Structure 1
Amino acid sequence: MTAKHSVLFVCLGNICRSTMAEGVFEHLVKERGLQDQWVIDSAGTGDWHVGYPPDERTMKVLKKHGIHGYKHKGRLITQADFTTFEYIFGMDHENISDITELAPANSTAKVALLGEFDPQKELIIEDPYFTVSRNKNAFNEVYDQCLRCCAAFLDTVSGK
């Protein structure tokens, strides 16, 4: 069976929020036995971390929650992503603005904030890279929000 759906998670540097969401979503899809129905990836709008693995704090939180074996190398969002992926999710309004600016005229992707699926109505997924200095629990909070949003999104697409 070929993939039926595709999703790209996007944040600023592609090492914290978007990779957290990608790892969480991959895990949920595997738990539900739907991995053959999805193409899942993440990207950034800035090039600082291209080629680098996710932030070690992201990986630590994923592992703490039983998500092992997740691998990714940072990359930039490309114009091809707008026709390759059915859904492109940004984490905050700046991401959405950057994504919208990059979108070619032939874009077929649905662009939205991942937080639109948050049952707790937290629309913005704050960047833990910059907030961890004042909130030591920032990466765990991003995980919790990504889990809520990704599960709700998957339920919506799956018709649950």
Structure 2
Amino acid sequence: MTYRVCLVCMGNICRSPMAEVVLRHVLDERGLGRRVTVESAGTGGWHAGDPMDARALRTLSEHGYDGSAHRARQFTHDWFDRYDLVLAMDRDNLAVLRGMAPSGVEVSLFRSFDPAAPEGAEVPDPYYGGSEGFVEVLELVEAAAEGVAKHIADEIG
């Protein structure tokens, strides 16, 4: 049985695909890669089919990650049945996801798994800024990915 995770931001070209690549790497390092599928999507569909933002891809590459295979997708309400864990990058996308989630389905913030992050901490959208915003996003998702991986390890035993 495979445990399935979906990480969600707005357009699925910056934050959530960066988090997808990082979390997949962390899970592989812990020996859980074959037991966990990590995917990402956006609440909006205007970038569907597009590759990752070039700045996000470059930042990942400069830090030893490969995000070249990514293609943006839009999360839809019927996807909740596909995933064991759905995590939003910020409160706006969390609200959208909770609004479409079936009764009883829990959706959380990605950074809620980082023990050093304050309650309600978000991964900020770097899209309209410079390269330093993408480096900040990478640092934040690396910190939270460790906690997400621990949670998944506890879940799957």
**TM-score, normalised to structure 1's length?**
0.88
Partner deviation per Cα, 1:13-36 (whole Å, 9 max, x = no partner): 000000010010111112222111
In structure 2, the partner of 1:80 is: 78
SS of the equivalent of 1:10 reads strand
1:52 counterpart letter in structure 2: D
Query: What CA distance in whole angstroms lies between the structure 2 residues aligned with 1:70 and 1:86?
Result: 25
Residues 43 and 76, structure 2, Cα contact 8 Å, conserved in 1? no
Query: 1:126 and 2:124 equivalent?
Result: yes
The within-5 A match list for 1:23-42 is: 23-42=21-40
Query: What CA distance in whole angstroms lies between the structure 1 residues aligned with 2:9 and 2:66?
Result: 22
* Cα displacement (A) at 1:76: 0.6
In structure 2, the partner of 1:143 is: 138
Query: What CA distance in whole angstroms lies between the structure 2 residues aligned with 1:37 and 1:124?
Result: 27
Query: What CA distance in whole angstroms lies between the structure 1 residues aligned with 2:92 and 2:133?
Result: 19
- Aligned residue pair count: 153
Query: What CA distance in whole angstroms lies between the structure 2 residues aligned with 1:8 and 1:69?
Result: 16
Please list every run of 5 or more consecutive structure 1 residues that lacks an aligned counterpart in the other structure: none
Residues 23 and 70, structure 1, Cα contact 8 Å, conserved in 2? no
**TM-score, normalised to structure 2's length?**
0.89
The within-5 A match list for 1:3-82 is: 3=2, 5-68=3-66, 70-82=68-80
**Percent of counterpart pairs with the same letter?**
35
Moved over 2 A (4+): none
Please list every run of 5 or more consecutive structure 2 residues that lacks an aligned counterpart in the other structure: none
Instruction: Report the aligned-residue RMSD.
Output: 1.8
Partner deviation per Cα, 1:76-122 (whole Å, 9 max, x = no partner): 102232111011110111001111112234x64x3100011123215
Query: What CA distance in whole angstroms lies between the structure 2 residues aligned with 1:92 and 1:68?
Result: 24
SS of the equivalent of 2:72 reads coil
